[in-house]
Amino acid sequence: MSRNSTTPSATGSPIDDIAYLARSDHRVPMLVALTVRPRSRAELWEMTGVSSSTIRRTLREFEDRRWIRRNGYQYEATRLGAYAASAMANLIERLETERKLRDVWHWLPGEDSGFTIDMCADAVVTVADADDPYRPVSRFASLLEGTDRFRFVGFDVALFEPCKEELCRRVTDGMRTEIIDPPRVANYIRSTCPELFSETLASGNLTVRLHDELPPYGVGLFDRRIAISGYDPDGVTVRVLIDTDDPGAREWANSVYESYRRTTPTIPLETIVE
């Protein structure tokens, strides 16, 4: 096909190409599929579910942009097409992450903490709602089930129902646990389920440290994942839990934890259970 001034290659702007790809749900998946391997019209029709006439038109429009080439009865992406497909796939992935965080970001660590949006790309985001206000706490409890070592600093989601008994059970069963909490938590432990916590502390698997100035969120480190809990300070309720196995997020979480651990004393067991 010869280049001329009426083709998309010579007119419009990058925004026009983004708009073109975004206007129909099948275009980006179709272009991405052609970067993986050559495909026929029949394969593309089966993959996208759109009409054969739409497939023909889309392929023609891709060819006009030099994004694909035909090889017999199959089509494959050019290097330009692969470049455009990768850019759109990355954009969609970033916006999917943004949409997950849009309504909860203000409850999470701020920019000055070093926490970034990119750390949440593959995260599970669990948000409390009116029908299930304990969803984040329940997700936290499920993470406790599969870990042999647990560390936590900050706002203590583990002390909320239905997580509290699960934490104590896991510690008693052998989960090595270290928690850095504000001083008021010691008072909470004294006054709430004293027998349960006495047994938990007596197991020797729990270390409690106190710190007067902790972050307004929680950071939990499990064997394979880390979790960040954000809460509403007015209602003192957990509003969101984000958990991920992202290496960068784990490095950040470990750094936050260790920065507080270095300056916190261990609380004598008799101080807590008396």
pLDDT digits (tens, 9 = 90+) for 41-96: 999 999 999 999 999 999 999 999 999 999 999 999 999 999 999 999 999 999 99
The Cα–Cα gap between 30 and 45 comes to 9
Do 237 and 171 share a structural domain? yes
Which residues, including other chains, have CB under 8 Å from residue 121's CB and lie 6 or more apart? Answer: 93, 94, 97, 246
Do 256 and 166 share a structural domain? yes
- Among the listed residues 118, 139, 117, the one whose alpha carbon sits nearest the alpha carbon of residue 227: 139
Q: Which residues pair with 69 in a beta bridge?
A: 76
Enclosing domain of residue 161: 103-273
Q: What is the DSSP letter of 266?
A: B
State the number of CA atoms in the 13 A half-sphere of 14 facing the CB: 3
Do 267 and 176 share a structural domain? yes
State the total domains in the chain: 2
Q: Which residues pair with 207 in a beta bridge?
A: 178
Do 73 and 207 share a structural domain? no
Do 257 and 241 share a structural domain? yes
Last residue of a domain, one of 64, 96, 128: 96
* Low-confidence residues in the chain, pLDDT < 50: 1-5, 269, 274
| Whole-number pLDDT of residue 129 | 85
| Whole-number pLDDT of residue 231 | 82
CATH number reported for the structural domain that contains residue 144 in this entry:
3.30.870.10
**R_g (Cα) of the chain, nearest Å:** 26
- Among the listed residues 99, 106, 96, the one whose alpha carbon sits nearest the alpha carbon of residue 239: 106
Which residues, including other chains, have CB under 8 Å from residue 42's CB and lie 6 or more apart? Answer: none
Q: Where do we find the tokens 């330009």?
A: 80
Tokens of 161: 């129902």
- Among the listed residues 85, 75, 70, 95, the one whose alpha carbon sits nearest the alpha carbon of residue 17: 85
Q: Is residue 47 part of a domain?
A: yes
Tokens of 4: 């001329």
Q: Where do we find the tokens 């698997």?
A: 205
| Whole-number pLDDT of residue 203 | 83
Do 141 and 32 share a structural domain? no
The Cα–Cα gap between 185 and 183 comes to 5
Do 112 and 71 share a structural domain? no
Do 243 and 117 share a structural domain? yes
- Among the listed residues 97, 104, 77, 138, the one whose alpha carbon sits nearest the alpha carbon of residue 244: 97
Last residue of a domain, one of 75, 96, 117: 96
Last residue of a domain, one of 96, 128, 148: 96
